[in-house]
Structure 1
């Protein structure tokens, strides 16, 4: 088996194309440049290699003979796969047969024909499976388009970014709709989203189903998680891995939401030409920590949204796909429909989408609490020494529960007669301050106040009021009417609770705890498996020793019988 793999790797190295435009021939029997190949009913002359991925090489081809079709340019993808097990042929056929099931979809790169057969390895050291797939020829990948825009200091137009996302999401939604089990792509990235040639409509299409899988990946047992983690390293690309791909201990399974996360990463990259979680994305992805960068859009489709050069709707769609909890992520079908609505402008105000976003982002569609549209309280005044009105200096802060906190230089304008003290008048102090806390603007509160002070207006005063379904409190220093001697009334101290820890700190702590717990569980499971393996090894060793002893006895018996047989033969000869 090792020699077969070594020979196959040598063949792959031989097929490596240093310069895609080179037309020089190679001595390798599997280099298709300049050769005519037959795939199904099609005869194709292969040209230069246009892509090389180790085990796969893609050539530009020209159809020479295809009954019922016009001569046209195509792409020919060749894969060399090992023939080293009973399931090798199934593995070789899996990608092209899955692709054939999806090829009719308008957002999937069309596969026109395919062929799988055994061929000798270079040097005659065994065989390998050669897979040929004839695909429609596309003009460029989304990764190429973004790189071109970046080299010019530009960004892709928002509408074009949404078109690419819509195509990929539509194709993924088609895969997830397969019955009885969904198909998972597992390697959605800009390199696998291709733009069709202008003559074929110029739309975007999804390709490369080499990592695809039928059905979800269970994560119920230690063996499930170990297999899943090993497989994910092999078939997925790190910057586009979802949290459940990074930490198999936190989730029940890997399913369609994982593809949706990758789609969100692709949309983010198309909008902002950057990776949402960076190249080293594990902890950032597990925490769901990303920012919306600010930039100047170069295209007409980049309507300003929140100062980031992209529309709020496009940013909202991105956020809805990058939710850590896979059960709260929007579906690929919903994301595709939303992208289409943003492109066409039809059905933008969709109630079903709003409900889905509210579930994904935790209420209100964009997260956070309170009603940002609630009006602030009206400006307030306080009486001056001459009985005139002096405008208050007021700061209004919306509260997260929908109420208001107001800080200014005047008391609430509506106050009942004091419950303590006498009557009189005095001059106010213009630099006095007060605060009101209410579910509505302070002007609507009906209050009862208590005051302390003198005719010179220099005393401190505190008031507490309770209205119908609303409360407010004031702290002020202003003149109060003359009052008979009375015990001092000191307001209770204002206790300000310590600030709550930042959400990302709490999340990081939770993640650290989860990771530690998961690692401990994994270590325990591995120790159990190791102990079981050691026990099996001991049992097998004992059986092997017994078998050797039995074999030795049998050999002795065979030798004894052979001796008797020889003696009989000798006796017969002498007789």
Structure 2
């Protein structure tokens, strides 16, 4: 159960939009909204009514990908190459569903904290993408500096900084933004399935470091991983998704084609 206290009309519209958008999706790797209610509560001192929203979702007791990695890192444990690929493949399937709608929708906040895992005996974990509060029609035409600044301001509020695509940090005054913002976040999330953090979080801890500069320049650092280490093909796969120029970034169909080839190669 997700409870939201609503104190103004803007917050009310955001919740209504989340409910509307959630109802658009029907896929096993996207968390379904089972039911919802928005109720009025006692008036404020100014005489206006507040609201409370209740959104009901299925229960997943094994927590998020972020929760799981914190528990694993305490034991210096890592996902196997096979589990990395299987978890990632499921996220791709969920995003493919969103990107294939008409119009296409972008999730806009793909990150480990928004991925639920459910462990199944003898199988790879079931991965489910959740939280559609930031999901919007993916394709936007930016035709002025003010529109670019509006997009950047929106992204700063709705897209987690370490997973945010370069075009959402520094948007040109003339740009066509599309669902490939999710591909960038997906590449960051694949890295995080392996190593527990975004590929750019190192910049937060460096003296004089800049997260934005690291992202805009796609300055990836590869930490020490499990022994034996992950295949170089996985590193190349991440790098392929983290193209600073969105026009040369692959689309979700391309990603799925390549992850299926990697699964057949490394999941024997």
Whichever of the two has the greater Rg, that structure is 1
TM-score by structure 1 length? 0.42
Closer/same/farther in 2, CA of residues 332 and 81 from structure 1, 3 Å limit: farther
Is the alpha carbon distance of 1:195 and 1:331 closer, same or farther for their aligned partners in structure 2, counting shifts above 3 Å? same
User: Which of 148, 151, 170 is 2:93 aligned to?
Assistant: 170
Q: Which runs of 5+ in 1 are unaligned?
A: 1-75, 298-303, 347-575
Alignment of 1:454-473 (within 5 A): none
CA offset digits 1:78-120 (Å, max 9, x no partner): 11223336xx654331112211211x20111122112233333
Q: Does 1:82 align with 2:2?
A: no
Give every structure 1 segment of 4 or more consecutive aligned residues whose post-TM-superposition deviation is greater than 4 Å: 121-125
What secondary structure is seen at the aligned counterpart in 1 of 2:24? helix
Matched residue, 2:207: none
Cα distance in 1 for partners of 2:12, 2:157 equals: 20
TM-superposed CA distance for 1:162, in Å, is 1.8
State the partner residue of 1:135: 57
Cα–Cα, structure 1 residues 91 and 283, in superposed 2: closer, same or farther, change >3 Å?
A: same
CA RMSD, aligned part only? 2.5
Shift of 1:219: 2.3
How far did residue 123 of structure 1 move?
6.8
Indicate yes or no: 2:217 matched with 1:292: no
Deviation by residue 1:8-33 (Cα, 9 ceiling, x = unmatched): xxxxxxxxxxxxxxxxxxxxxxxxxx
Report the Cα distance in structure 1 between the residues aligned to 2:24 and 2:42, rounded to whole angstroms: 29
Q: Is the 8 A contact 2:29 2:90 kept in 1?
A: yes
Gap change, CA 1:92 and 1:128, over 3 Å in 2: farther
Q: 1:244 to 1:215 in 2, by over 3 A?
A: same
Equivalent residue number for residue 336 of structure 1: 256
Whole-angstrom distance in 2 between the partners of 1:92 and 1:286:
32
User: 1:174-233 CA deviation, whole Å, 9 max, x = no partner?
Assistant: 111110x2111111110000013649x840000000111124233220220121121111
CA distance in 2 between counterparts of 1:136 and 1:198 reads 16
Residues paired across the two proteins, number:
257
- Kindly state the Cα deviation for residue 129 of structure 1 after the two structures are TM-superposed: 3.1
- Quote the Cα distance in structure 1 between the aligned partners of 2:243 and 2:68: 27
Q: CA deviation at 1:124?
A: 8.5
Q: Which has the higher contact order (CA 8 A, sep 6+)?
A: 2
Deviation at 1:122, TM superposition (A): 6.7
Structure 1 CA distance for aligned equivalents of residues 152 and 263 of structure 2: 38
SS in 2 for 1:327: helix
CA distance in 2, matches of 1:121, 1:342: 57
